[in-house]
Amino acid sequence: MSELTLAQSLNGALATALESDERVVLLGEDIGRTGGVFRITDGLRDKYGEDRVFDTPVAESGIVGAAFGMAIAGMHPVAELQFLGFSYPAYDQIINHVARIRNRSNHRFTAPLVIRVPFGGGIGAAEHHSESTEAIYAHIPGLKVVVPSTPSDARGLLLAAIEDPDPVLFLEPIRLYRAVKEEVPDSYYTTEIGPLRVEREGEDITVVSWGAMMKEARAAAARLEESGVSVEVLDLRTLSPIDADGIVRSATKTGRVVVVHEAPRTAGMGAEVAAIVQERALYSLTAPVRRVTGWDTVFPLKRSEGHYLPTVDRIVQVAQETLEA
Amino acid sequence: MSELTLAQSLNGALATALESDERVVLLGEDIGRTGGVFRITDGLRDKYGEDRVFDTPVAESGIVGAAFGMAIAGMHPVAELQFLGFSYPAYDQIINHVARIRNRSNHRFTAPLVIRVPFGGGIGAAEHHSESTEAIYAHIPGLKVVVPSTPSDARGLLLAAIEDPDPVLFLEPIRLYRAVKEEVPDSYYTTEIGPLRVEREGEDITVVSWGAMMKEARAAAARLEESGVSVEVLDLRTLSPIDADGIVRSATKTGRVVVVHEAPRTAGMGAEVAAIVQERALYSLTAPVRRVTGWDTVFPLKRSEGHYLPTVDRIVQVAQETLEA
Amino acid sequence: MLTLISPDGTVGDRLPITLEEMRRLYSDMVEARTYDHKCMAMQRQGRLATYAPFEGQEAAQIGAAATLRPDDWVAATYRDAALMWRAGYPWSLLVAGRTGDERGGQAPDGVNVLPPSITVGGHMIHAVGLAWAEALRGSDRVALTSFGDGATSEGDFHEAMNFAAVFNTPTVFLCQNNGFAISYPRAEQTRSESIAMKAEGYGMPGVLVDGNDVAAVFEVVREAVTRARRGGGPTLIEAVTYRLGPHTTADDPNRYRDEDDAVEWREKDPLERVRLLLERAGGWTPEWQTDLETRAADVIEEAVAMAEALPQPTAEEMLLRMYEQPTSSIESQLREIGS
Amino acid sequence: MLTLISPDGTVGDRLPITLEEMRRLYSDMVEARTYDHKCMAMQRQGRLATYAPFEGQEAAQIGAAATLRPDDWVAATYRDAALMWRAGYPWSLLVAGRTGDERGGQAPDGVNVLPPSITVGGHMIHAVGLAWAEALRGSDRVALTSFGDGATSEGDFHEAMNFAAVFNTPTVFLCQNNGFAISYPRAEQTRSESIAMKAEGYGMPGVLVDGNDVAAVFEVVREAVTRARRGGGPTLIEAVTYRLGPHTTADDPNRYRDEDDAVEWREKDPLERVRLLLERAGGWTPEWQTDLETRAADVIEEAVAMAEALPQPTAEEMLLRMYEQPTSSIESQLREIGS
Ligand SMILES: Cc1ncc(C[n+]2csc(CCOP(=O)(O)OP(=O)(O)O)c2C)c(N)n1
Ligand SMILES: Cc1ncc(C[n+]2csc(CCOP(=O)(O)OP(=O)(O)O)c2C)c(N)n1
Ligand SMILES: [Mg+2]
Ligand SMILES: [Mg+2]
């Protein structure tokens, strides 16, 4: 066990994967010499060699396409894209090739690769550096989308993603990289892709979130508990496949659901959560599922970030409205 | 007035736009010499010249990026991408540039361009030729997403899209190109982007759809009426901005909603419709909003198309379950 | 541009292969053309979905594939049936794919040929990744990727070429420049004099070859394959050829090209020149030709029969084909279908 | 590679411009460097978001921009503040952008400079579309796009170059090869000997120039601009230079490069060589230098003050910036914010 940040835990998980499976290679922009813009691959090239950890030209489609070819040939590549806002040049490779090869070849060829991407805002970054467009990936059949929010989940989910026989998009919440520390086992363990994690049990209302917004979700829950409300907090952890049963279980119990995400509201993952809840727990609902989300705008620059990101206040307010409905 | 197919109506609208606004130019793969794979631009290069209608190299990002530059410089380009499955190489240009320039330049530069894309399945086409990934575009702030399903809407919406000061993704239902004929005015008219169209009024249940699935939605409604059910059918026509008020109005009236689309269910636009309805009309709902959609799979090849596409039977069955709920 | 066999069947001072090998290549081209004609006919009968014929491009495809080892990788396109077949992919699966059946994409075990890429340009980088993986684990397999002149305009072509050169991967890029991308002529596709010369911009050798000359194609591809196998890195080869038929069965070439061109190119037919050469060398008789054609027709008929005998695919298969283990969403949709 | 002014300030037989023009270029470079240093300082004080310094690249940027007409188009990057400014973009807006304010992207009316592209590679094709539009309506405006060595690996570079050549658009491609893409050295980015030579693969002229020599840059860009203006089509220019500072304020160059390199490149400083030249020609005095620096400092301080005086942007502005007319979704969210 070591007390680790999320960033350290990811670094450790990658080291473990490189150590335990020779099919694992890492590739991406600046991940070798500098250890990546967030230093998640720090030290790995020195330790595991230039034949395992590759700096690449600036070409996202190339990175994913090459990793895909390697995966078909039997390797387990872990590609890094620097920010989710720079993943779009690779969108075609992901949707038209990576996610489809098993289908297209009727299981003959498969693409066990992981695409790691830092995502989300809140650090006053430049344009395109704060995106959280998870919905456009969760909509792709054949791809799994995973989002850890704690150091120990990060390790378990990343090792599970690398082991997975199918491709996984692994989204890393930038704002949490160094925000929390937790005891993380040093052993090789995996956390199942799919099931959500009940972060906190409660009776009156369910707050559903993932990634960096878990911080606000937790804080809002704590605030609400102070005024005597019992809040159940769910960390989805996996957006595709989404844990519909887990969400419905909680919604049925509390009858009230608030879903929180950074992405714009329209056609975001909050819609899917709301759709599932009303589909399967309508008669348990005492209030509509409400969405506390980013607005339908481009993620703004530093000075307006506060206008955009869901705050603890907004979550608490919407939760209270939901409780009063 | 002329009796036109949807394809002919689009061709006429493009001719009208070229005729009435010299800022309009057309560009895309094979749209000049051959009039495009679906002949939507047939004859336009001969009539309006090689300086208005351009065949381009095979490069979707280049087509959209160049059209974007032209739009900033004051033209109103209409770009064609051959199929929605080939739009992904241009996704980065669309999300990171086209949809953002107004925001990024605080209104100084704008991109009044239209990206026309045939979409949807049902004609036994090759892989990638049957996509309906409208959700990944509707999620993009700054972009409008329009989908006509009738010849007269096609003309009015396309002219409105070309006039629009902001970028519009214009999705054309392949299966309907030549499936219906309708009287279409020859005059210059626009149909407002945004408001849905009530295709048929009813009291007992609302069926929401768009694009090619309108055909099945209509047929299902007709079938249900035979058994005495009064069905309201909504054609969304615009997916972004979505006409939430229009949807809620109908849902409030009928209390029962079925949404139908071809795309995979998870994180598709049906989720947004369901989310809106339960958010704003929960207490009017007598049954959950149900989604009749494609499965969470790649759109299959010809022999399995029937397994994938929502059928009239499936819609009727789900509507009946909703009515009995 | 390297030509070894002229359209009239005469050769210069050398041929890279024996007469017997040449007979094999000829026989392969006859079989491929038989397949192509059969598919065109089947499509007209409504038995196939859209079909993209390769008539006129047999030399480029057969000549290239003949240089490969059975365990090499191939990433090719919708128009590369001859190439894929010569690399080990059964005709029956190629036909099955064209009937609209995903099972057609399932190469037999041991055949390292990817299902044909329908997107233009996206698959070349896969051959870079495949080759890179082989090099990393010390095998001497190479990856060959085939694509058209139009595909060279896609950004992915650029990224693939650059990655291959930067990482020195054993990848052979085979561009079949058949004059058109659907209706768009090669002369407009790019202003560079040749496609082969684009290789220079990546620090990679580029070779221009007569794509209707099976011996010349064989020679230049073999050289590239050998170099790649020995760690010498990637090569770009431009095989200049012509698509004699339409782009696909949905296309009408009269809209964009002069049929005189096609007539001219028919005179450069890749099969006929080899036939003339073989005849002159005593390696061809009308009886052998009849024999070849009969055998080819039988082989293709059998393949068609196999493809058409595949049972109707089920909805369950469609859902189960998405992941190794069905996810919760697939499982719930399976239940929905079952009900 | 064309050099006109050597690092020691000596010139060959010709200079493309007068002494007075040279003084202007020098003065501009001093002002640009003042801005750069100021931004680095402000970032350390927490007054700016991440900043990407251009120190060492002033000659490439000022020399190129000086060739443009005020109505020409510019599509440049996060590192091109000097270029954008010389093309008419006010320092105050450049600073505003760096404080994290979208209003910094709003070029004044008449200034045809796009907001800096943060994505690598995506903006070059915009300069193709801009130039194409101008050519179509018969204006003689050109579009210049600036980008780095790393950007040439993106697929969009390829598509932009190809479209420019195919449609003969009046576009000037200026690659500032500053040796690195963050930590990735130019030698690995591509195996081609130069970036300039990539132009050939598109049938476009490619020119290699000493990017630290403002006169040489001016000359080759002027030639390209003139050709483009006269309908002669696009040009690719590679200006070889060096980023003396870190990639951005978040970067530590010691992780990937030898500081000796930077020392060596400091000796090729683009300002110093012009100062030496001017001094020798009687066009430079220490008093003038002090004057320039004082004036530059004042100008930049004023720009900073303007940027920092911009009122806190509102949430409403953020929503209203998405469309000309707010859509129904924007309107309902405005109401939500208001409540
Ligand atoms: C990404 C993408 N864009 C567009 C298409 C539509 N399309 C199919 S074939 C083709 C032309 C390709 O030309 P070329 O590469 O020369 O190959 P050929 O068909 O001549 O063999 C186009 C544009 C596609 N399949 N994929
Ligand atoms: C599409 C995209 N991918 C990755 C990045 C992250 N990134 C920012 S700058 C940079 C290096 C660019 O190098 P170069 O083009 O040489 O320009 P320089 O920074 O040296 O001026 C990278 C990879 C980005 N901004 N956009
Ligand atoms: Mg071709
Ligand atoms: Mg650089």
What's the mean pLDDT when you consider all of chain C?
Answer: 97
Average pLDDT (C276-303) is 97
Cα(D95)–Cα(D88) distance, rounded to whole angstroms?
14
Inter-residue contact C59 to C29 (CB < 8 Å): yes
Alpha helices in C76-202 (DSSP H): 81-86, 91-99, 124-136, 155-166, 186-189
What average pLDDT does the segment D97-118 reach? 98
**Number of C–D residue contacts, CB under 8 Å:** 70
From CA A172, how far away is CA A131, in angstroms rounded?
A: 12
Q: By CB neighbour count within 10 A (0-12 exposed, 13-18 middle, 19+ buried), where does A198 fall?
A: middle
DSSP C304-333: HHHHHHSPPPPHHHHHHTS-SS--HHHHHH
Q: Is C118 in the pocket of ligand 1 (CB under 6 A)?
A: yes
The stretch C271-300 carries a mean pLDDT of: 97
Instruction: Using the predicted structure, report yes or no on whether residue C125 has a pLDDT greater than 90.
Output: yes
Q: Is residue A263 part of a domain?
A: yes
Average pLDDT, chain D: 97
Q: Residue B170 has what DSSP assignment?
A: E
pLDDT confidence band for C185 (50 / 70 / 90) = very high
Ligand 2 pocket test, pick from A60, A82, A128, A131 with the greatest ligand atom count within 8 Å of Cβ, gives A82
Clarify whether residues D272 and D325 are in a common domain: no
Mean pLDDT (whole number) for C265-281: 96
Please tell me which residue in B76, B97, B129, B261 is annotated as part of the active site.
B129
Q: Rounded distance, CA A48 to CA A61, Å?
A: 25
CB contact under 8 A, A33 and D181: no
Same domain, B156 and B226: no
**So what's the pLDDT on residue D259?**
84
CB proximity A135 to B under 8 Å: yes
pLDDT for the residue numbered D260: 87
- A189 lies in some domain: no
Q: Are residues D99 and D237 in the same domain?
A: yes
pLDDT over 80 (residue C148)? yes
The model's confidence at residue C260, banded by pLDDT at 50, 70 and 90, is confident
Q: Does D328 touch chain B (CB under 8 A)?
A: yes
Is residue D13 pLDDT above 80, yes or no?
A: no
Question: For residue range D239-271, what is the model confidence (pLDDT) as tens digits?
Answer: 999 999 999 999 999 999 988 888 999 999 999
- ∠A88-A90-A96 over CA atoms, to 5°? 110
CA–centroid distance for A242 within its chain: 12
Residues 175-234 of B with CB under 8 A from A: none
Distance in angstroms (rounded) separating the CA atoms of residues C182 and C191: 18
Say if C9 falls within a structural domain: no
Q: What are phi and psi of B187, to 5 degrees?
A: -70, 170
Regarding whether D323 and D206 lie in a shared domain, the answer is no
Do D191 and D277 sit in the same domain of this protein? Answer: yes
What would the pLDDT profile of D294-324 be if each residue is shown by its tens digit? 999 999 999 999 999 999 999 999 999 999 9
| Residue B95: predicted pLDDT | 98
Q: Is the pLDDT of residue C12 over 90?
A: no
The side-by-side arrangement of strands in the sheet containing C73-75 is C73-75, C143-148, C171-177, C235-240, C206-210
Question: What pLDDT was estimated at residue C231?
Answer: 98
Q: Are residues B154 and B208 in the same domain?
A: no
End-to-end CA, chain A: 45
How close is the nearest chain A Cα to the Cα of B195, in Å? 16
Q: Are A227 and A178 in contact (CB under 8 A)?
A: no
Do A42 and A155 fall into the same domain?
A: yes
* CA distance, residue A22 to nearest chain B CA (Å): 32
Instruction: Give the confidence band of B211 by pLDDT, cuts at 50, 70, 90.
Output: very high
When pLDDT is averaged across residues B200-222 and rounded to a whole number, the result is: 98
**Among B196, B216, B151, which residue's Cα sits nearest to residue B177?**
B151
Query: What does each C-alpha distance from D19 to C289, D4, D61, D215, D272 come to in angstroms?
Result: 81, 14, 19, 11, 16
**So what's the pLDDT on residue B178?**
97
Locate D179 and state its tokens: 């040796």
What is the SS3 assignment for D293? helix
Clarify whether residues D209 and D82 are in a common domain: yes
Residues D289 and D320 both lie in one domain: no
* B37 lies in the same domain as B176: yes
- The answer to the question of residue C3 being in a domain is no
- Tokens 């059964």 correspond to what residue? C90
Residue D154 to residue C155, Cβ atoms within 8 A: yes
**Cα Dmax for chain A:** 60
Residue C61 lies in a domain: yes
Residues A167 and A250 in one domain: no
pLDDT in tens, B151-166: 999 999 999 999 999 9
Distance from the Cα of B223 to chain D's closest Cα (Å) equals: 34
Supply the pLDDT for residue A88.
98
Same domain, D256 and D339: no
Q: Which three-class secondary structure state does DSSP give residue C212?
A: coil
Burial of C12 (0-12, 13-18, 19+ CB in 10 A): exposed
Taking CA atoms, A13 is separated from A157, A171, D145, in Å, by 9, 15, 42
Which pLDDT does position C248 carry in this prediction?
A: 97
In a domain, D14, yes or no: no
What are C88-105's pLDDT values in tens digits?
999 999 999 999 999 999
Q: What would the pLDDT profile of B103-150 be if each residue is shown by its tens digit?
A: 999 999 999 999 999 999 999 999 999 999 999 999 999 999 999 999
Q: What is the mean pLDDT of residues A198-206?
A: 98
Residue keyed to tokens 């997107």: C119
C33 has pLDDT over 90: yes
pLDDT band at A167 (very low <50, low <70, confident <90, very high): very high
What is the pLDDT at residue C124? 98
Query: C188: closest CA among B27, B80, D147?
Result: B27
Cβ atoms B13, B158 nearer than 8 A: yes
Pair C257, C325 in one domain: no
Report the SS3 class of residue B49: coil
D45: Cβ–Cβ under 8 A, 6 or more apart, which residues?
none
Longest Cα–Cα distance in chain C: 72
**Catalytic residue (one of D44, D69, D230, D256):** D256
Same domain as B159, residue B66: yes
Q: Alpha-carbon distance A276 to A236, whole Å?
A: 13
- CATH code at position B238: 3.40.50.920
Asked if C235 and C303 sit in the same domain, the reply is yes
Length of chain D: 339
B29 CB less than 6 Å from ligand 1?
Answer: yes
Q: Does residue C5 lie in a domain region?
A: no
* Residue where a domain terminates, one of B156, B184, B212: B184
Residue B48 resides in a domain: yes
Q: Which residues pair with C174 in a beta bridge?
A: C146, C237
Residue at token pair 């996996």: A238
The ipTM is 0.98
> Which of C312, C317, C318 would you mutate first to test chain B, the one with the most B CBs within 10 A?
C318
Would you state the structure tokens that stand for residue A190, as one six-digit string?
Answer: 């995996």
State yes or no: pLDDT of B324 exceeds 90.
yes
> Which residue of D49, D256, D314 is in closest CB contact with A302?
D49
| Pair (C321, C269) in one structural domain | no
User: Residue type at D129?
Assistant: G
| Structural domain count of chain A | 2
D60 CB within 6 A, ligand 2 = no
CATH number of the domain bearing residue C68? 3.40.50.970
pLDDT in tens, B242-268: 999 999 999 999 999 999 999 999 999
B216 plus B293 within the same structural domain = yes
On whether both A150 and A271 belong to a single domain, the answer is no
In a domain, A190, yes or no: no
Give the C-alpha distances (Å, rounded to integers) separating A188 from A3, A157, D101.
16, 11, 45
Nearest CB among B267, B278, B279 relative to A135 is that of B267
Domain co-membership, B265 together with B147? no
Residue A192 lies in a domain: no
The pLDDT of residue C16 is 84
**Same domain as C334, residue C192:** no
D144, D160 contact by CB (below 8 A): no
C77 φ/ψ angles, rounded to the nearest 5 degrees = -120, 180
Where residue A169 falls among pLDDT bands split at 50, 70, 90?
very high
What integer is the mean pLDDT of A23-27?
A: 98
Q: Whole-prediction pTM value?
A: 0.98
Q: In the prediction, which pLDDT does C339 show?
A: 75
Q: Is D168 on the interface with A (CB under 8 A)?
A: no
Residue A132 near residue A139 (C-beta atoms within 8 A): no
Looking at A146-160, A275-289, C230-244, D3-17, which range is the least confident one? Answer: D3-17
Q: Is residue D185 part of a domain?
A: yes
In a domain, B81, yes or no: yes
pLDDT for res C2: 95
Q: What are phi and psi of B290, to 5 degrees?
A: -105, 150
Gap between the Cα atoms of B31 and D217, Å rounded: 40
Same domain assignment for residues A176 and A228: no
Instruction: Look at residue D15 in the predicted model and tell me its pLDDT.
Output: 84
Query: Which residues on adjacent β-strands are paired with residue C240?
Result: C177, C210
Average pLDDT for D179-191: 98
Q: Which domain holds residue A98?
A: 2-184
Whether C145 is in a domain gets the answer yes
C-alpha to C-alpha distances, D302 to A127, A253, D51, D307, nearest whole angstrom: 25, 61, 19, 9
Cβ-contact A96, A86 below 8 angstroms: no
Q: Which domain holds residue C299?
A: 19-308
User: pLDDT averaged over chain A?
Assistant: 98
Same domain? For D86 and D156 the reply is: yes
Computed over every residue of chain B, the mean pLDDT equals 98
- What CATH number is attached to the domain comprising B149? 3.40.50.970
- Residues D200-250: pLDDT tens digits? 999 999 999 999 999 999 999 999 999 999 999 999 999 999 999 999 999
Helical segments of C66-147, H only: 81-86, 91-99, 124-136
Please indicate, yes or no, if residue A125 is contained in any of the structural domains: yes
Number of domains chain C is built from? 2
Query: Are residues A11 and A159 located together in one domain of the fold?
Result: yes
What local confidence, expressed as pLDDT, does residue A14 receive? 98
Residue closest to A269 by CA, chosen among A133, A172, A87, A141: A133
Query: Which chains would you list as touching B if contact means 3+ CB atom pairs under 8 Å?
Result: A, C, D
Predicted pLDDT at D256:
95
Same domain, B225 and B283: yes
Listed residues A126, A156, A184: the one ending a domain: A184
Residue B160 in contact with residue B191, Cβ under 8 Å?
yes
Considering the domain boundaries, does residue A30 fall inside one? yes
User: Closest-CA residue in chain C for D122?
Assistant: C155
Three-class SS string for D30-73? HHHHHHHHHHHHHHHCCCCCCCCCCCCCHHHHHHHHCCCCCCCE
pLDDT value of position C261: 86
Does residue C268 surpass a pLDDT of 90? yes
Nearest to B228 by CA among B250, B199, B205, B247: B205
Would you state the pLDDT for residue D51?
97
Task: For residue D119, tell me if it sits in a domain.
Answer: yes
